[in-house]
Amino acid sequence: MVDDKFYVTPWDVVGKVDYSKLISEFGVGEISSDLIKRIEKIGGKNFMLDRGIFFAHRDLKWLLDEYSKGNKFFLYTGRGPSGKMHLGHLMPLMFTKWLQDAFDVELWFQFTDDEKFLFKDKTYEEIQKQMEEDFLDVIAIGFNPKKTHFLVDTKHASIIYPEACKVAKKITFSMVKSSFGLNESSNIGQIWYTSMQAVPAFLPSVIKGKNIPCLIPHAIDQDPHFRLTRDILPKLGYNKPASIQCSFLPPLTGMDGKMGSSQGAAIYTTDDEKEVERKIKKYAFSGGKDTLEEHRRHGGNPDVDVSFQYLKYMFEPDDSKLKKIYSDYKSGAMTSGEIKQIAIDKINAFLKEHQKKRKSAKSKIDSFMYHMK
Amino acid sequence: MVDDKFYVTPWDVVGKVDYSKLISEFGVGEISSDLIKRIEKIGGKNFMLDRGIFFAHRDLKWLLDEYSKGNKFFLYTGRGPSGKMHLGHLMPLMFTKWLQDAFDVELWFQFTDDEKFLFKDKTYEEIQKQMEEDFLDVIAIGFNPKKTHFLVDTKHASIIYPEACKVAKKITFSMVKSSFGLNESSNIGQIWYTSMQAVPAFLPSVIKGKNIPCLIPHAIDQDPHFRLTRDILPKLGYNKPASIQCSFLPPLTGMDGKMGSSQGAAIYTTDDEKEVERKIKKYAFSGGKDTLEEHRRHGGNPDVDVSFQYLKYMFEPDDSKLKKIYSDYKSGAMTSGEIKQIAIDKINAFLKEHQKKRKSAKSKIDSFMYHMK
């Protein structure tokens, strides 16, 4: 969607995103406290839900109704391997892992190497090399290897492509033009691509020979793909996939857009302790006042302070601790240096563990990869 | 290409085709007697070349130069499984078999089940069922099983799709719009499809890890695909494929268009003797006069007589015999009934043999199918 102030497509997020505006423009539902309670009853509390980081959904009520009747769903999410993975990529994956454990369900994980090759100015080999790295980050999240299936668009094309043709037959150029802003200069792979992204939403139903509900956790910018998917799937005899959608982890530089690979905007999963410290200290936008004296007197603004946001989005799951940091920073009792140090320590503790798991992940790739019959 | 009188695209051939006009509009070369002589020197005489049934080419001289230097080419042709196969489909395949034997080369044979599903009002299952039948007809042609590799677009997507993405990245919607007359209401699979048809022209080079020349024997209506393929392949580091192109076997009803599945227009590979007799007697457009008396006096016109055309295109390889039929019919010494009977006998003799081979072909499918590593 396009606005004079912000802009959200599957390929670009620009400006300060107004999420309530997105909800009405995209036509998604807000996650009500009732829905959160129903999820809690099954899986326990989750801070990303409580804090409104996952804030929107489609058909979540239907999905939970089916689950209550004993009709389990599967999860579908994915990763486009274009550049190094950063914290912004891990955030929805951590929530997806929580969902997998909480509901004890299968996860189909799509690596869209075709998409990234078709949309980015990168070679096929560069994309493949990046994807090998991404496997490690995804495995390090801790998904259940017995219930998680990696699908690589090119590698698994023999099972994905035939189904994608069935989707593609129902989608015209006009439709992708309006959904994705493609035009006559777009390459024919870009025009085709959304049919590949639709497939994991019903492929498990194809494989199992019965209609299985699907839940897609994803960042809100991917909604145009799944909106189209939802229009098409009933025409092929499948359920509309449900979805649960998160807002964007802010870039280091402030609350505009999302964490991305532009200079100084991202903390990568492979950054070492010193690099994290350097980036937070140098780039992390501060909600503090210009001088210590002013800060002590008037306090800082945690709502625009990027270090605070990282604690809120990912690294301080304890609500009472987070609340205390919020009020201490707002009152001026906590300085900008101090809140940055908390973020640095928390991120480094997380990354230390993540990098350890990442190292041992290489030998596990094959066990996560879906093996075609 | 579009004309007030005729119309040729990969999906439609309408009206009486002016082949010399096609040569200049498509920008293909006429096959000179020099080129025919060079082919004869290697593979012996071929009546389809001599009679101008294969009449146009691209880069055939280059291909023969490479061959002379010991740089063998491979053949690439294919079949779109949409409806029952008929004589018009077999004709270029018979020539392809002759080429395979004459030059002792590999043949990569593509079954474009995705294309037919995307362009035709048929279900996926209908297309798959037809393709199983088509395997039998293609095998019955007698290709060398040790040197022939079937590629099925959906089944072999894991090797074709990644390469097709590389092609697709170089083709815009504008380009396919002008090449194929697609528009904003075209489905996104149709828009994408030409990138799949491009792949077998260089897939053997990918597999062998070296640039191998390619020759595509095909009916002239497929030229728009390969014209685009020729534009793209050098950008990916591969040779432009050479091609050798045939005119269309006429439908039973006369010299307009090509043999197709509309009522009474085609003789199918599975037609029995009586059906062939019935179709030729009932439908085959005759170049004879209205009464026997007139016919004896003024003679017939073999150039528009469909029975004569079938003998010329496929069933009477002996030039002196064909010449005698031509002059006897033209002088009125041979009646329309007699020339029809010759065609009936020749076609039935051919189909008897073809159907025998077709029956034993089922057990050979696997040995023709390309096995991915």
Residue A4 pLDDT more than 70?
no
**Could you read off the pLDDT of B283-297 as tens digits, one per residue?**
999 999 999 999 999
Closest-CA residue of chain B to A113: B162
Please give the backbone phi and psi of residue A260, each rounded to the nearest 5 degrees, phi first.
-150, -175
Which pLDDT score, from 0 to 100, does residue B117 have? 98
**Could you read off the pLDDT of A119-176 as tens digits, one per residue?**
999 999 999 999 999 999 999 999 999 999 999 999 999 999 999 999 999 999 999 9
With beta carbons under 8 A apart, name residues in chain A contacting B154.
158, 161-162, 165
Mean pLDDT of B201-224: 96
3-state DSSP call for residue B152?
strand
Residue B4 pLDDT more than 70?
no
Alpha-carbon span B280 to B267, nearest angstrom: 9
Q: The tokens of A174 are what?
A: 């006009």
Closest-CA residue of chain A to B154: A162
Q: Per the CB < 8 Å rule, is B184 touching A191?
A: no
Nearest to A189 among B168, B177, B183 (CB): B168
Alpha-carbon span B154 to B243, nearest angstrom: 25
**Could you read off the pLDDT of A56-115 as tens digits, one per residue?**
999 999 999 999 999 999 999 999 999 999 999 999 999 999 999 999 999 999 999 999
- Give the best residue of B188, B191, B229, B369 to mutate against chain A (max A CB count within 10 A): B188
3-state DSSP call for residue A329?
helix
Question: How far from A353 is each of A97, A269, A277, A347, A359, CA to CA, in Å?
Answer: 16, 11, 17, 10, 10
**Could you read off the pLDDT of B49-76 as tens digits, one per residue?**
999 999 999 999 999 999 999 999 999 9
Check if the beta carbon of residue B199 is closer than 8 Å to that of residue B160. Answer: yes
Q: Per the CB < 8 Å rule, is A118 touching B184?
A: no
Closest-CA residue of chain B to A163: B154
Give the count of Cβ contacts less than 8 A between chain A and B: 124
Q: Which helix (H) or strand (E) holds A217?
A: strand A214-219
Instruction: Compare B3 and A284 and report the one with higher pLDDT.
Output: A284
Whole-model pTM: value is 0.95
Q: Per the CB < 8 Å rule, is A117 touching B156?
A: no
With beta carbons under 8 A apart, name residues in chain B contacting A156.
158
Residue B262 pLDDT more than 80?
no
Closest-CA residue of chain B to A120: B169
Question: Which residues have CB under 8 Å from B259's CB, separation 6+?
Answer: B86, B87, B88, B248, B249, B250, B251, B252, B265, B266, B267
pLDDT band at B260 (very low <50, low <70, confident <90, very high): confident
Check if the beta carbon of residue A142 is closer than 8 Å to that of residue A102. Answer: no
Q: Per the CB < 8 Å rule, is B192 touching A155?
A: no
Which pLDDT score, from 0 to 100, does residue B10 have? 84
Mean pLDDT of A258-282: 91
With beta carbons under 8 A apart, name residues in chain A contacting B156.
158
Question: Which residues have CB under 8 Å from A46's CB, separation 6+?
Answer: A39, A40, A95, A98, A102
Alpha-carbon dihedral angle through residues B302, B306, B312, B313, given to the nearest 10 degrees? 150
Residue A1 pLDDT more than 60?
no
Alpha-carbon span B241 to B247, nearest angstrom: 19
pLDDT band at B187 (very low <50, low <70, confident <90, very high): very high
How large is the ipTM? 0.94
Residue-wise DSSP of B285-327: ---S-SSHHHHHHH---TTT-HHHHHIIIII---HHHHHHHHH
**Could you read off the pLDDT of A6-48 as tens digits, one per residue?**
878 888 888 888 999 989 999 999 999 999 999 999 999 999 9
Question: Which residues have CB under 8 Å from A31's CB, separation 6+?
Answer: A49, A52, A54, A55, A56, A57, A60, A244
Beta bridge partners of B214: B74
The whole-angstrom distance between residue A147's C-alpha and the CA centroid of its chain comes to: 20
Q: Which helix (H) or strand (E) holds A244?
A: strand A242-246
B65: amino acid identity, one letter: D
Question: Which residues have CB under 8 Å from B137's CB, separation 6+?
Answer: B85, B89, B90, B269, B354, B358, B361
Q: The tokens of B234 are what?
A: 């050098």
Tell me how close the Cα of B232 comes to any Cα of chain A, in angstroms. 13
Closest-CA residue of chain B to A165: B189
